[in-house]
Amino acid sequence: MLATRFTELVGCRVPLQLAGMGPLANPRMAAAVTNAGGLGQVSVAARNPRFAADVLDEARALTDGPLGANILMPFVDPKTVREVVRAAAARARVVDFFWADPDPELVELAHAGGALACWQVGSLGEALAAERVGCDFVVAQGVEAGGHVRGRIGLFPLLSQVLDALRIPIVAAGGIGGGRSMAAALAAGAAGVRVGTRFVAAEESDAHPIYVAALLAAQPEDSVYTEAFSIGWPNAPHRVLRASLEAAQAFEGDVVGEIYVASEGGRFPLERYEGYPAMQDATGAIEAFPHWAGESVGSVSRVQPAGEIVRELATEAERLLRRWS
Ligand SMILES: Cc1cc2nc3c(=O)[nH]c(=O)nc-3n(C[C@H](O)[C@H](O)[C@H](O)COP(=O)(O)O)c2cc1C
């Protein structure tokens, strides 16, 4: 059993946090990760503030264990963000923020609702700010990470900085797709790991089969760091599979397909270079949608249940760490 400050704080058995991943981290996936001993998370950021309660209630019906509520700040209306945090804190063990300056008022709201607060950060300065405003732990994201990338340096140089400077527990994110990298992060002093890309190919994921097939075939060097998919969210570097970037570049036309957005309850056209994942219910040129993936994509080799992924990482990390103890 890998007991850490993260598992003690959160009340889980495995020091692994499922990344918030928009519609990809759905209630079934979150519950499966939690039921396997990790911290499952759902993404609750939406223009409709009711969405947070609905999606968390759906996950709660599938597990009694701790859940996280991920709030991707650019996608919440500043007028309703407090309402979203209150709804999240009433239902989740952790309210998890990303892509904004750490905000003491939101952290306090999470605490007032009985939840822990955490902030995913990409630099030492941001990590110190998160600690200062009262976060219970921070997630340090290296530049290897999939999806949107706050980090500008590799995970281990960042971990070295933040582990020396902060007192609160640090969770490591970026490039962790298997037991080896999980063991390395824990051995370095991280209290847990946050994993995204590996779960996109989980059985519970509603990712489009073309996106999943691309992940299964990809190697770490196929993940590229770019700002190309910037419509709807500019100035936000991210990692996608190179082939999807090239397909978007070669695509002729303004609209690549159509998506269903659950929080809005409707279908919408997806513009070329717009940042929405290719879900099963999307139509159109799926190969030109952003295929989000970090360098950890090299560890995605088959479709398997999310719980099995958690157990595989935990068992392998524990085996490797025991060799040194
Ligand atoms: C498909 C995908 C979508 C993501 N969406 C979000 C998100 O909505 N909120 C968030 O906090 N992080 C998001 N991230 C970033 C993750 O929180 C995390 O930093 C990253 O997945 C870690 O790197 P890895 O993909 O190598 O595991 C996303 C990552 C991926 C792969």
Nearest CA to ligand 1 atom 12: 20
Instruction: Tell me the per-residue pLDDT of 186-240, one tens digit each, with 9 for 90 and over.
Output: 999 999 999 999 999 999 999 999 999 999 999 999 999 999 999 999 999 999 9
Helices marked H in the chain: 5-10, 27-35, 50-60, 81-91, 104-112, 124-132, 155-165, 179-188, 197-200, 209-217, 242-250, 306-322
Is residue 205 lining ligand 1, measured as CB closer than 6 Å?
no
Instruction: Tell me the per-residue pLDDT of 8-29, one tens digit each, with 9 for 90 and over.
Output: 999 999 999 999 999 999 999 9
For ligand 1, the distance from its centroid to the CA atom of residue 292, given in whole angstroms, is 8
Query: What is the SS3 assignment for 85?
Result: helix
For strand 40-43 and strand 255-261, is the pairing parallel, antiparallel, or unpaired?
unpaired
For ligand 1, the distance from its centroid to the CA atom of residue 197, given in whole angstroms, is 7
Is residue 20 lining ligand 1, measured as CB closer than 6 Å?
yes
Tokens standing for residue 236: 């936000």
Our mutation pick for probing the ligand 1 site, out of 21, 33, 176, 276, counting the most ligand atoms within 8 A of Cβ, is 21
Between 120 and 265, where is the model more confident?
120
- Amino acid found at 28: R
Q: State the average pLDDT over residues 120-144.
A: 98
Q: Nearest-5° angle of CA 128, CA 22, CA 157?
A: 35
pTM: 0.98
Atom of ligand 1 nearest to the CA of 198: 27
147 with 196: CB under 8 angstroms? yes
Tokens standing for residue 98: 């990303």
- Amino acid found at 195: V
Query: What is the SS3 assignment for 184?
Result: helix
Is residue 21 lining ligand 1, measured as CB closer than 6 Å?
yes
Q: How much of the chain exceeds pLDDT 70, in percent?
A: 100
For ligand 1, the distance from its centroid to the CA atom of residue 53, given in whole angstroms, is 21
Please tell me the predicted confidence (pLDDT) of residue 1: 75
For ligand 1, the distance from its centroid to the CA atom of residue 4, given in whole angstroms, is 22
Q: Return the number of other C-beta atoms located less than 10 Å from residue 57's C-beta.
A: 12
Instruction: Tell me the per-residue pLDDT of 270-306, one tens digit each, with 9 for 90 and over.
Output: 999 999 999 999 999 999 999 999 999 999 999 999 9
CA distance 49 to 116: 20
**Residue 10 to residues 3, 68, 89, Cα–Cα distance (Å):** 11, 9, 13
Our mutation pick for probing the ligand 1 site, out of 138, 197, 215, counting the most ligand atoms within 8 A of Cβ, is 197
CA distance 22 to 42: 8
For ligand 1, the distance from its centroid to the CA atom of residue 21, given in whole angstroms, is 5
Q: State the average pLDDT over residues 146-174.
A: 98
CA distance 124 to 178: 25
With the C-alpha atoms ordered 53, 57, 197, 22, is the resulting torsion angle positive or negative?
negative
